[in-house]
Amino acid sequence: MLGRLVKWLRVIGQDVIYGQHLSGYGLIRAARAEGRLILTRDGHLKHKQPPPFLFIHSDHYRDQLRQVITACGLKPGQAMFTRCIECNAGLQAKSKESVAGAVPPYVFSSQEKFSWCPACHRIFWAATHQQKMLQELKNLGLS
Ligand SMILES: [Zn+2]
């Protein structure tokens, strides 16, 4: 239910874990073990003596993102595009030479900076979708 919010938080560089296994007491255990803040839409969580949590009010990811950024005092512009959106690992810089053949030819010829995810091995580069994300944050008044 919070999937889009999770991706957006990773876009701005936040360390966020998410998945089917993170529900009920599994969620509480993981949050305690890793010292994490729980983001939840589950109104019953508070009855389970959870560690610190933030109840997300809205169904809409834009409102959710705004709520989390405000509540946690995040600075969205500081670490954008430093984390893999899919698996949460920190991205590492990769030289242009090393991605030859691994990215489409037009990307290779038009881009200079690449990074990659050591966990899922995806390669990232500045592209139009990053521009759109920046624009979206601007539209939300969050950049
Ligand atoms: Zn990844």
Helix (H) or strand (E) holding 54: strand 53-55
Give residue for tokens 């809205």. Answer: 58
| CA 122 to ligand 1 centroid distance, Å | 6
Residue-wise pLDDT tens for the chain (143 aa)?
A: 799 999 999 999 999 999 888 888 889 999 999 999 999 999 999 999 999 999 999 999 999 999 999 999 999 888 999 999 999 999 999 999 999 999 999 999 999 999 999 999 999 998 888 888 889 888 888 77
**Whole-prediction pTM:** 0.89
Helix (H) or strand (E) holding 40: strand 38-40
| CA 46 to ligand 1 centroid distance, Å | 32
